[in-house]
Structure formats: C-alpha cells, structure tokens
Structure 1
Amino acid sequence: MQQNEGDDKTFTLLVNCGQRVNGKSTIYGITPVHKAIEQTYKSSNKTMLKKVLEMDADVNVIDTNGWIIASCCFLLGIMGNNYFNRKRSISINLIYKGYYPIHVAALNNQAKAVQLLIETGMACQESFVDFQDNQNCTSIHLAAKKCHDQVVQVLFESGANIYQVDKRDWTPLHYASFYQNRNVVHLLSRYDADEDQYCAMRTNKGQTADQMTTDSEVKFASRHYGVLLEMETQIQLENQ
C-alpha cells in the first residue's frame, strides 16, 4: 500500500482513479488511515497522514483488533486536537472491549495523547480521567501497571484519583509496587496527602502496597518519602 510506504503522490493518483480511501486492505480490517498512522509514527513524517485525512478518511473505523482507539490516540498525539476540532469529527469516547481511547493511550505510554484527550474532554465538559475499563481499572492504574512515569504524572496533575481501586481492590500504588517501579511509587507517594489511607487500603488478599514488593528501594520510596517531603516543607517554612 502506498500509504504504508509514504508515497503520497502515488496515493493521490490512485484515489483520483477511484481507489477507496476507506477500503479495507486486509482480512483484519486495516484501512489506509491505520497504515498512514503507523508510517507516521515510525518516521515522524506527517505528510502521508495529512494526505489520507485530506481525502476524508473515516477516522472512527474499527479494525478487528479495535485499533481505531489506538489510532485516535496516535492521531491526537501526532496532529494535535486543534486540527480535529477544526476539520474532523473524531470520537474520543468510543468503547471497544472495555477500553476507552484514554486507556489505550495510557497503556501505550502516549503521555501527549493522554493530555490531549483530557483537554478535548474538558472542552466538551466531560472528564475521562477516572473512566474504568471492564476490570474497574482507570488510566492511572494501567499506566502504573506498565510503569509509564510520564503518563502517571499527567493523569495525577489532571486530577486522577490515586485511591481508586479495581476489582481486586488494587490501587495504582499496588501496581507500581508489584512491578517494582521506584519512579512511579516515588511519584504516587510524593503526591499522597493521606499516608494513613494508603496503609488502610488492602487488596482482596489483604495486602498493602508496601507488601507487594521485595525491592528494598521501592519499600523505602513507599514508606519514607512522605516523611521526607514533610520535613522538607517544614524547613522551607522555617526559612521564610
């Protein structure tokens, strides 16, 4: 496919000769816009994607794996939400197999896409930050599980609930501790305003976040960072 190779001139010629821009090229339902997004993501060259979109490609078509959701995220991350506010009608609340676009963006470490999806939702007076998948995981759960530090920070700064529990009563901190990611544990502990609440929150097997890891440095981050932050704040107040 020309959009996969980045040949925008040949692609334009084929479309002018009757080739359908929304034609599905494989048994998996992959369309030119999917291929153009992939090519753009790999090469950082937006020419082919812009060309496909100028041909009024359907940006909400779903392939057999539900990858329009990922496509929405990459489109937003690559092109920016202002482009779609002006020119396209893109669905940012599509659900496929329990996932919203913001979930897929979080899973794929697309911090910019997460931010843009949140901003787009706010413009529509709708918040996607704490939307849950079919396991009751929010985006910050998924980002913590995958150890995506920047995504976790974007979600926190956007008001994500760090105490939200999934079906197993795991908080984002439980996931970060279990997967032994010091940065995310450090981040969640740093911003935690209620250490007692964290200590009281246990999984359905009775485990606290601190008990989910064998990494001593992760345990240190979880147990002591809040104390260090309090000491630092006190010093700053005394020096004022």
Structure 2
Amino acid sequence: MRVLLGAWLLVLLAWLGVISIAWNLIAFVLKFFLRGPVARRVGRAGIAYGYRFYWACARASGLMRLEAESLDALRDVPGGLLIAANHPSLLDALMIVARLPRSACIMKGSLMRNPFLGAGAGLAGYVVNDSTRLMLRTAVERLDEGCQLVAFPEGTRSPAPGQMHPFSRSIALIALRARVPVQAVVIETDSPYLGKGWPLWKLPPVPIVFRARLGERFEPAGDAEQLSARMEEYFRQELRK
C-alpha cells in the first residue's frame, strides 16, 4: 500500500510540473504581446488559477489537502498589501497565490531562471531578491500598482513544522517604504513533507494537510527593526497555540 501511495504522490508532483511547464510556455508567448501592468495582471491570474486547479486535483487524489479559503477575504482588499507568511514547505507560495489572483511573490533569482517557473514569474512581475536594493525598489513599485506581494520573512524554509528561523527586516522595510500594511498568514501543518531536508520521493503520513489562515494585520509604523520584531513574536506565539 505504501508503495502505491508513494507512486501516486510522485504522479501528483509530476502533474504539478506539467501544469507549470504548460503555463510557462503560454507565458513565454504572451510576453511578446503583453506589456506592463496588463501583462502582470494576466500573468498573476494565470498562475493563481493554474495552482488552484492543481490543489483541486490534489484534494481529489486523497493524498493532499489545502485549507486556505479564509484567504479569499483578501481578494477585494483595495490597494497594495504585503502578505507575510511562515515557511514550513516548498508548497507555501503555491497555497497562497492560488487564492489571490492579484498576488506576486518575492523569489530567489535561481527560481526566476528555472524553466518550470521563469517565464510565468517574469510575466507576472515577480520580485527577485538577488540584490537587496533592487528588490526593495521593485517591491515598492509593485505595491504602488496595487499588487498583493507575498513574502516569507524567514528567507528560507522553517527548520521544522511549528518552528521558525529569525525574521529578516527586509519585509518590514518594504512595508515602511511603500506605506502599506503587512497581513500575516499563518501556515500550519503537522507534515514534514517538502520541508527542510525532506526528499521529494519520500512518502510522509497521508493525507498531507496544510492550513493557511489570516492573522493580524500590521500597520507600517515605527522602524524596520521594531516592526520585524513585532511580526516575528506574533508568529512565534501563533505557532505555539
């Protein structure tokens, strides 16, 4: 039975790859016809609905389940919004952007060059964090356009479910420069799947359940150090509940 479940899990991951490659091919073509805010709106919506379809397939398989309907309340929030989440798994960004068609992510430059992600992320106007100065400027521009920008203040995946790395103050600095609030999204899971050091092919206990819920909304006040410290303490308290 475990062998069969493991095979199905690999099929599910392969299906994610197929969806990603298909959208990236479409995005590559669209980049020749769309520019500026129009391109970014189309790119973000394409990613959101593609990943929403993937999560529907994952739920139908019985192996994985995402509970993130509470994020839908953010879809009609006007203006720019910075969304900060803890980072227990490689799937965290997929969970959030699937619910928010206006969202973009801050991501590593290596991922922007990834054939599974690059063209789609470029069309959607994702923000690359290779250069801190360029990241800050681009992030503020995206927020000024009304983007919902998804970021992980830990900068890397959490060491284990329910634990966190210290927060970088870069996210707080973006919020202060753009004068936008920071919406906390708390991701909860008991599963180590695709967490730090977990191999893709290793089967965890199933079903794999992720829950993403809305937390506190932090107004852009004080300095970056203070705001980052307040957010980090809030997340640590929430994950201890």
* TM-score under structure 2 length normalisation: 0.27
Q: Which structure has the bigger radius of gyration?
A: 1
| More helix as a share of residues | 1
* TM-score under structure 1 length normalisation: 0.27
| More strand as a share of residues | 2
| Greater length-normalized contact order (CA 8 Å, ≥ 6 residues apart) | 2
